[in-house]
Amino acid sequence: MMTSDGSTNPRLSMDDWVQEGFRVLAEAGLKALTLERLCRRLEVPRGSFYWHFSDMKAYRRALIDAWATVRDQDRGYFDELAADPPRQRLSRMLTVLVGPRHWMLERAMREWARSETAVAAAVRASDRWVVTTVRQAFLDDGFNSDEADLRANATFAAGIGFLHLSGSRPSPQAAGRREAFLEVLLRH
């Protein structure tokens, strides 16, 4: 069994469990997120799970918290981009939001949000933040408020589409498509 740090130590970290949970959610949905399935996939006994989590409710909370941490990191990174030219800022934002790091995580959370209102609310709040940040880049590029809204929402929708069209993992052609898409949206 290979752990998140690349070692073959059979003792799993909390992050190993969390990452496997995101894989299960992304591949098979919430109903498939069971202790038995996780243990089978990680090739460990049930006791390994209980070393880190008191129960599935605590485990699911850890999944939500891990996602929130990634979103907080994104916010910090996007704040750092605020001084970049709008085109460069948008390209970097899209690269982050639909890149390999987010592929599994976003698909997992969106799948989960379909069946749990608390997760859906967290996803909606995150989505609003992303659209607002993207909108600002279009405003900074000289688009009026209505055009910036339209383009920000189109960019967001396309980003979600890029995630779902990528199949089981991000494709190497996706970066070129994103750049071509940005060229279209940045035409005045």
Which has the closest alpha carbon to 41: 79, 2, 13? 2
Give the contacts of 169 (CB within 8 A, at least 6 positions apart): 100, 103
Residue 16 has pLDDT above 60, yes or no: yes
Query: CA-CA distance, 188 to 175, in Å (whole number)?
Result: 22
Span 151-168, average pLDDT = 80
Which has the closest alpha carbon to 95: 11, 35, 165, 155? 155
Q: How many CB atoms lie within 10 A of CB 24?
A: 20
Cβ distance 48 to 39 under 8 Å? yes
Which two three-digit tokens encode residue 95? 């690269």
For residue 48, count CB atoms less than 10 angstroms from its CB and return exposed for 0-12, middle for 13-18, buried for 19 or more.
middle
Residue 104 confidence (pLDDT) = 74
CA 15 to chain centre: 16
Any idea how long the chain is? 188
- Positive or negative torsion for Cα 91, 185, 168, 164: positive
- Positive or negative torsion for Cα 9, 67, 139, 156: positive
What does DSSP assign to residue 31?
G
Residue 168 has pLDDT above 80, yes or no: no
pLDDT band of residue 147 (cuts 50, 70, 90) is: very high
Which two three-digit tokens encode residue 150? 């339209």
Q: What's the pLDDT tens digit per position in 19-38?
A: 999 989 888 888 999 999 99
Span 5-16, average pLDDT = 71
Which of 65-69, 85-89, 120-124 reaches the highest mean pLDDT? 85-89
**Average pLDDT over the chain, rounded to an integer:** 86
The more confidently predicted of residues 181 and 145 is 145
